[in-house]
Structure 1
Amino acid sequence: MHSSGLYLQLFSIHGLIRGTSPELGRDADTGGQVKYVLELARSLAAHPEVAQVDLVTRLIADKTVSSDYSRPIEPLSEKARIVRIQCGGRKYIRKELLWSHLDEMVDKTLKFIKAFGRVPDVFHGHYADGGYVAGELARIFGSPFIFTGHSMGAHKKKTLLEEGLTSEEINHRCHIDHRILVEDRIIKDAEQIFVSTNHEIDKQYSLYANFKAGRYQVNPPGIDVETFYPHYAPQLDADAGDETTRQARVVLLRELHRFWVSPEKPFILALCRPDQRKNIAGLVTAYGEDKELQAIANLAIFAGIRKNIAEMEENERNVLTEMLLLMDRYDLYGKLAIPKKHDFSIEVPELYRLCADSYGVFVNSALVEPFGLTLIEAASCGLPIVATRDGGPTDIIANCDNGILIDPTNSREIASACKSILVDKDLWQRYSQNGINRVQRHYSWPSHCERSLAAIAKVLTEMPAVQQSEASGRKTAIGKRLTAVNRMLISDIDNTLIGDDDSLKELLALLKANAGNICWGVATGRCLAKTMHILEEHAVDRPDILICSVGTEIYYGATLAPDKGWHRHIAYRWRPDEIRERLKTLDFLEIQEPEKQKPFKISYYLEDDPELLAMVHQTLQTKKIRYHLVYSHGQFLDILPYRASKGKAIRYLSYKWNIPLAAVMVCGDSGNDASMLRGDTNGLVVANYSKELEELRGMRRIFFSKKEYAAGIIDGMLHYDFIGGQSDG
């Protein structure tokens, strides 16, 4: 990768994205957004100011989908590629079910970035889930966050409620309320929000509490005009030799003519996913109710790719079933073509041109259309359009003057608009030529990329001021620091880091002098507030990492940003209410003060008696409760999630930031430090240790210093050659 240009990461999480023959219309996740991000990645990469574009998505290894989606890296061009990151297992799951796995996506993308060796200059999220991941990474690295929503949850919920669905039904299917909360935060956090139309701002983003905090720019997508060339262009001449295009035309004609009794008539074309919002039923009804329209033209509906309708998702199955029932109701056999499959990369451009050659019309009758990429594709081929007036088509027709806007719920209006264009050849010619000329003016990828990069350049010049504003809590560059270092030191606070002020000052000076190679942090049983209080009391600047509440919480750097991935990780099978209920039966346990109880920590006082401790274990194990128990200083009992402890937190950090355990040094003095001292790290026990740690003496990679407190930590650093190199212990 060239170091002189921008490195951009784009995020489209759902996973069904590939560089060749994208399966557009396969399901609800494979609509225009797939085509958008692929063409955006290639177009940005072609710009001389860009060094690398990575389109990051989910890796899927599932027999029900193509093996193409399991390739970790797929080149798109010399400077663009698809990067696939595994999260949430390997099976394909629809995007609405990915929310609980997105923090894993963040963590594994961090690992990829560190291994790649360069932090992206910009993180650009597409759709709400991609926006969440891009926003989290931008916050971690102190980099700009750009967002393109494509469609917004609040508007979708409003539309579905108007259609008669209940909030409960919508949330069960789409997790819409969670999505709306995420989108509201994205609006506030994003340095720039790209929208395709003014309608998107006015009708979608305006529904959010943070609407006025958003920074919006209308930047419509482009199309490849070399692919979507006019229907009369010479590429189809017999002498031109474009065998692939001619073959596509032959296949399409053969497929369409299977359905039509009078194939010589013009035809009305619809091309969309089998989604309720696309209102396929509205178009079929409009055609079925108008005998005059049926006499004038045939109808062709390409509603995604399907094999067996009975095996499809409920939404798609219902839409396609309704389409077939309406076909039968209006007796449209011989007039309505409903092919089952099409190749988007080859056949779709030719399909538009075929329709234009017949003097037909393209219809988008969606209930709402955020943009309408198919409309500008059809226009570029010279095909007039009829489109919903709710959404992006209002901008497209205003810019191109190439068709008629309609109310998608009014079947007569749809039919009337189609007839107006089909029977008036002068009007047809005007709309056709306007579409061809004006798409090139308003909707090209080069112009889109120029606008994008100009906005990014402006944001980059503003970012230093944002980074300096720690009070805002919006950005922290901790990610740049932790991906740059190659060693990590983690210490307990009480009686380890703190205890001797002179040696503490010496240790802090040593860490500061080696900050380019070593990051450092603390691990403590204290909550965050008490951790900060004792560090400030001893004039210790905020460390890079704070592991608090016995390893159940992780925070970073100056802004104390929480590690959401760790919270998500340890929440697995954590049943705190049941644990409290079971332990109520043990009268020798005394619950600690309310302020010492945390979402992932239940704390008791317990006298030092092995038999009592065994009874605690027995009480929990008989109910098959998964937990992790920590007993320290002869009186403190902490019950944690099974996945949580200081040691497990350190191993998680090692994995997340790609710092090998052999390059991690851990320092402690008491029993609640034991889990982090064991293992493949470099363990250090200070001379003033508690008796619980005596059992660790003689273990590999655990060094018992003869010096106390911070002096013992410095002694351990010398023992492990932690400053000059990395020791095998």
Structure 2
Amino acid sequence: MSELLQAVLDSGEKNDLRSLMSEIRADEKQYLLRNDIINLYNDFCNKCQKESGFKQNSHLSKLIYYTQEIIQEDSNLCFIIRSKIAAQEVYRLTPDLSIETMSVQELLDTRDRLVNRYNPNDGDLLEIDFAPFYDYSPIIRDPKNIGKGVQFLNRYLSSKLFADPKQWLESLLNFLRLHQYNGIQLLINDRIQTQQQLSEQVKNAIAFIGTLAETEPYEQFRFQLQMMGFEPGWGNTAARVLETLSILDELIDSPAPQTLEEFISRIPMIFKIVLVSPHGWFGQEGVLGRPDTGGQVVYVLDQAKNLETQIAADIELAGLSLLNVQPKVIILSRLIPNSDGTLCNQRLEKVYGTENVWILRVPFREFNPNMTQNWISRFEIWSYLETYAIDAERELLAEFQGRPDLIIGNYSDGNLVAFLLSRRMKVTQCNIAHALEKSKYLFSNLYWQDLESKYHFSMQFTADLLAMNAAHFIVSSTYQEIVGTPDSIGQYESYKCFTMPDLYHVVNGIELFSPKFNVVPPGVSESYYFPYSQYQERVESDRKRLEEMLFTLEDSEHIYGKLDDPNKPPIFSMARLDKIKNITGLAECFAQSKELQASCNLILVAGKLRVEESGDNEERDEISKLYHIIDEYNLHGKIRWLGVRLSKTDSGEIYRVIADHQGIFVQPALFEAFGLTILEAMISGIPTFATQFGGPLEIIQDKVNGFLINPTNLEETANKILEFLSKCQQNPHYWQQISQQGVERVYSSYTWKIHTTKLLSLARIYGFWNFTSQENREDLLRYIEALFYLIYKPRALQLLAEQSSR
């Protein structure tokens, strides 16, 4: 039994628990989430006039704190308790306080009954369980180390090397033999046949190179090394080659995790990368702000550019320039024939400022021209992804003139395509979710049938399960994206155990303690986003133009609202107009605070200005809502709403103009998986207020380099902003202090150099793990394929038939 429950029963609080259960049963809600539970508990304590010590420190208060959900069924209560991160216990409590442990299956049946979707006479439902496939893999023990998979894997691999050096050195030798570029052998040749020869020749090579000048170019002693058995790839100078061979020598003699990571990270094995991002309008101009087109496009473009830069630097250091080795990065997206003035109808587009980074657009097959000729919502594209992957494979093989070395999926659709491509091409697959919709839409799995016609979650959640389990490694932007916080469930954790009533039960959807999870935050594009104080890098004409646009320009087509006093410091936000981004919530917060209106202006760069211009239902609703708030609270003269699409150059300068005016940036999302705009604002030097729900909790250290807000509590949010403004009035240096600490936070932890170095290191180490481990993934992949063909594909074909009749 739960220690938390037992502690209550063994104390004098037993009757309090019984009374609280009575209050819960009197509540209309049958399904209480954590906030509901805490609110009900607080009301109970107030009603019973409990002292603050009981309210906060009693055994009952601890039980309530760790209770994630309560489900009412008849007179019984089902308590889902999460006393530890990534672990839950489930108990049924009867009115007389008898307690039964519930299995996962019983919990899922209870949830089904809650929505009247359970009938034992219909027979059992399909159970999806991935747990057996992780029995053969190393597993992390401590929840604190979740998301540090590569460090764990290095310790595991080096311990194996130490325990059985003969077997592992044989694996290392075979791994070094693998590497080629366009048919040219790299690293070692046939002169080294055994582990013993490898060890001896490494020492001979070290002795030889030690006689050379450190700056001696590799070309000058290339042939002497080839005679010893070493091909290009060890370094570009004598010093670099000596360093790399010395690391290998140390690894052979006394394997250690750090040595292993350092060595594998130097192996030249990643030259060609595919980034998969099918949905939305993927382009470099005129796309941001369109439906389904925002942060992911920015992220993928920046990642692609910086991956090329990093691979090129690695190639140079490895001494492969003499072989004319060139990195190539392809962003695989969807070709949209009716491209609405964008370049999304072009098959191939070179990415600006790069040598060999391309957007490759592959069209969906013409099952239904009315659909496939046009943009398709990310919720509607599931019918086309299997054939898209088949067509994309052919296009990629032609563009690369062979297979890529790494495939990185983005979002649910991109990850599914990445899995299908990886399976067919036998290439390492990396998963990046950006956002898992299951966490964003409350009870979306439980009521999926009611939502299916609009969102098609049955396919999306199935795709997520398949791709995340198939991936060789998963990159998340934050720790809590995986397993949340002590009082909230992580996005991936939400896939651990859930029901899709009438479709399937997931009893173990993902192993959260698997070393495949790694936290690698994205960076900021420093060429566009940099501190406002770097005046020498700013273009004065751009600054003046954007300052006028933000504060005074009259343009009824693109700007709504005129400021009575443009000199007031601005509260600024920039995001799409959809529910989750909650721009209307910020407007309402501003509208309900007379003090904020007296002190500041509200300036929003958000989507379109007119309902009729949008093809997205959610955006149309938010446009109408924003106008309603402005009129209801008479915000005229205090708000500016810019319905413009900005280039990245203008986007960066707009932040800096806001900083010039001693403004603040507010990111009010109801949930934010990471928050690139937060990094952009912080590096520009704007004091930043951001939602506490999601990634910003790890970016911002509250009241040190920014501020965390609860966007659902409008009064509290307004008060936090007012408190900051008050401190700025009392201390003229306070605004500057928070500004500078925000800039330093980004430069220390969130640059693309840090991101790409780590990502490429991960790809190499997981490539080494997959080669050397005895783990057989074929059984896992067969299971995933079975689920794909038995669950996903029939539903995708059904959706295709529905779309064809429209």
Kindly indicate whether the alpha-carbon contact (under 8 Å) linking 1:139 and 1:475 is maintained by their aligned counterparts in 2. no
TM-score by length of 1: 0.62
User: Aligned in 2, Cα 1:242/1:310: closer, same or farther, shift over 3 Å?
Assistant: closer
Within a 5 Å distance, the mapping from 1:430-469 to structure 2 comes to: 430-465=737-772, 469=776
Q: Match for 2:681 among 370, 375, 378?
A: 378
| 2:173 pairs with 1:173 | no
User: Aligned in 2, Cα 1:474/1:423: closer, same or farther, shift over 3 Å?
Assistant: same
Q: Match for 2:389 among 84, 87, 106?
A: 106
Alpha-carbon separation, structure 2, partners of 1:323 and 1:466: 56
Kindly indicate whether the alpha-carbon contact (under 8 Å) linking 1:356 and 1:382 is maintained by their aligned counterparts in 2. yes
Kindly indicate whether the alpha-carbon contact (under 8 Å) linking 1:360 and 1:422 is maintained by their aligned counterparts in 2. no
Q: Which residue does 1:291 correspond to in 2?
A: 594
1:180 shift after superposition: 1.2
User: Aligned in 2, Cα 1:383/1:159: closer, same or farther, shift over 3 Å?
Assistant: farther
The one-character-per-residue Cα deviations of 1:324-357 (angstroms, maximum 9, x if unpaired) are 1000011000001111114131222122112112
Alpha-carbon separation, structure 1, partners of 2:693 and 2:790: 41
Alpha-carbon separation, structure 2, partners of 1:310 and 1:472: 50
Q: Which residue does 1:587 correspond to in 2?
A: none
Alpha-carbon separation, structure 2, partners of 1:358 and 1:201: 38
Q: Which residue does 2:423 correspond to in 1?
A: 139
User: Aligned in 2, Cα 1:567/1:442: closer, same or farther, shift over 3 Å?
Assistant: same
Q: Match for 1:87 among 364, 367, 370?
A: 364
Q: Which residue does 2:616 correspond to in 1?
A: 313
Q: Which residue does 1:369 correspond to in 2?
A: 672
Kindly indicate whether the alpha-carbon contact (under 8 Å) linking 1:361 and 1:385 is maintained by their aligned counterparts in 2. yes
Kindly indicate whether the alpha-carbon contact (under 8 Å) linking 2:551 and 2:563 is maintained by their aligned counterparts in 1. no
Q: Match for 2:607 among 291, 304, 317?
A: 304
| 2:496 pairs with 1:232 | no
Kindly indicate whether the alpha-carbon contact (under 8 Å) linking 1:400 and 1:438 is maintained by their aligned counterparts in 2. no
Q: Match for 1:23 among 287, 292, 295?
A: 287
Q: 1:456 corresponds to which letter in structure 2?
A: A
1:123 shift after superposition: 1.0
Alpha-carbon separation, structure 2, partners of 1:365 and 1:391: 11
SS at match of 1:431: helix
Alpha-carbon separation, structure 2, partners of 1:167 and 1:341: 35
User: Aligned in 2, Cα 1:565/1:167: closer, same or farther, shift over 3 Å?
Assistant: closer
Kindly indicate whether the alpha-carbon contact (under 8 Å) linking 1:107 and 1:565 is maintained by their aligned counterparts in 2. no
Output the aligned Cα RMSD.
3.3
Greater shift, 376-385 or 391-400, is seen at: 391-400
Q: Match for 1:70 among 345, 362, 385?
A: 345
Kindly indicate whether the alpha-carbon contact (under 8 Å) linking 1:257 and 1:263 is maintained by their aligned counterparts in 2. no
SS at match of 1:70: coil
1:233 shift after superposition: 1.6
What residue ranges of structure 1 are gaps of 5+ in the alignment?
477-555, 576-729
Kindly indicate whether the alpha-carbon contact (under 8 Å) linking 2:542 and 2:653 is maintained by their aligned counterparts in 1. no
User: Aligned in 2, Cα 1:571/1:343: closer, same or farther, shift over 3 Å?
Assistant: closer
Q: Which residue does 2:279 correspond to in 1?
A: 14
1:463 shift after superposition: 2.4
What residue ranges of structure 2 are gaps of 5+ in the alignment?
1-179, 183-267, 316-326, 366-371, 484-489, 497-508, 554-558
1:574 shift after superposition: 9.4
Q: Which residue does 1:96 correspond to in 2?
A: 379
1:141 shift after superposition: 1.8
SS at match of 2:587: helix
Q: Which residue does 2:59 correspond to in 1?
A: none
Report the count of equivalent residues: 486
Q: Match for 2:296 among 33, 42, 65?
A: 33
Alpha-carbon separation, structure 1, partners of 2:634 and 2:302: 41
1:279 shift after superposition: 1.5
1:385 shift after superposition: 1.0
Alpha-carbon separation, structure 1, partners of 2:626 and 2:768: 53
1:232 shift after superposition: 2.0
Q: Match for 1:219 among 501, 520, 534?
A: 520
Alpha-carbon separation, structure 2, partners of 1:43 and 1:357: 29
Q: Which residue does 2:441 correspond to in 1?
A: 157
Greater relative contact order (Cα < 8 A, sep 6+): 2
User: Aligned in 2, Cα 1:468/1:142: closer, same or farther, shift over 3 Å?
Assistant: farther
Q: Match for 2:695 among 360, 370, 392?
A: 392
Alpha-carbon separation, structure 2, partners of 1:358 and 1:572: 51
| 2:127 pairs with 1:127 | no
SS at match of 2:711: coil
Q: 1:264 corresponds to which letter in structure 2?
A: N
TM-score by length of 2: 0.56
Q: Which residue does 2:565 correspond to in 1?
A: 262
Q: Which residue does 1:189 correspond to in 2?
A: 470
Within a 5 Å distance, the mapping from 1:336-415 to structure 2 comes to: 336-398=639-701, 401-415=704-718
1:217 shift after superposition: 0.9
Kindly indicate whether the alpha-carbon contact (under 8 Å) linking 1:359 and 1:422 is maintained by their aligned counterparts in 2. no
User: Aligned in 2, Cα 1:354/1:471: closer, same or farther, shift over 3 Å?
Assistant: closer
Kindly indicate whether the alpha-carbon contact (under 8 Å) linking 1:196 and 1:220 is maintained by their aligned counterparts in 2. yes
Greater shift, 425-434 or 404-413, is seen at: 425-434
Alpha-carbon separation, structure 2, partners of 1:401 and 1:159: 35
Q: 2:301 corresponds to which letter in structure 1?
A: L
What is the identity percentage for the equivalent residue pairs of Structure 1 and Structure 2?
Answer: 28
Alpha-carbon separation, structure 2, partners of 1:373 and 1:207: 23
1:266 shift after superposition: 0.1
SS at match of 1:334: coil
Kindly indicate whether the alpha-carbon contact (under 8 Å) linking 1:140 and 1:475 is maintained by their aligned counterparts in 2. no
Kindly indicate whether the alpha-carbon contact (under 8 Å) linking 1:195 and 1:216 is maintained by their aligned counterparts in 2. yes
Q: 1:200 corresponds to which letter in structure 2?
A: E
SS at match of 1:331: coil
The one-character-per-residue Cα deviations of 1:76-124 (angstroms, maximum 9, x if unpaired) are 1212110000114332111111101001111111211332321011111
SS at match of 1:68: coil
Q: Which residue does 1:667 correspond to in 2?
A: none
User: Aligned in 2, Cα 1:419/1:159: closer, same or farther, shift over 3 Å?
Assistant: farther
The one-character-per-residue Cα deviations of 1:178-217 (angstroms, maximum 9, x if unpaired) are 2112112222111111111112112211111333255211
Kindly indicate whether the alpha-carbon contact (under 8 Å) linking 1:123 and 1:143 is maintained by their aligned counterparts in 2. yes
Alpha-carbon separation, structure 1, partners of 2:526 and 2:761: 23
The one-character-per-residue Cα deviations of 1:33-53 (angstroms, maximum 9, x if unpaired) are 110001001110111247111
User: Aligned in 2, Cα 1:309/1:433: closer, same or farther, shift over 3 Å?
Assistant: farther
Alpha-carbon separation, structure 1, partners of 2:787 and 2:671: 42
1:475 shift after superposition: 8.2
Q: 1:207 corresponds to which letter in structure 2?
A: S
Alpha-carbon separation, structure 1, partners of 2:684 and 2:747: 11
Greater shift, 192-201 or 175-184, is seen at: 175-184
1:298 shift after superposition: 0.3
The one-character-per-residue Cα deviations of 1:391-426 (angstroms, maximum 9, x if unpaired) are 011001139932211111111011111112223224
Kindly indicate whether the alpha-carbon contact (under 8 Å) linking 1:135 and 1:190 is maintained by their aligned counterparts in 2. yes
User: Aligned in 2, Cα 1:311/1:40: closer, same or farther, shift over 3 Å?
Assistant: closer
Q: Which residue does 1:55 correspond to in 2?
A: 331
User: Aligned in 2, Cα 1:331/1:253: closer, same or farther, shift over 3 Å?
Assistant: closer
Q: Which residue does 2:308 correspond to in 1?
A: 45
1:429 shift after superposition: 1.9
Q: 2:522 corresponds to which letter in structure 1?
A: P
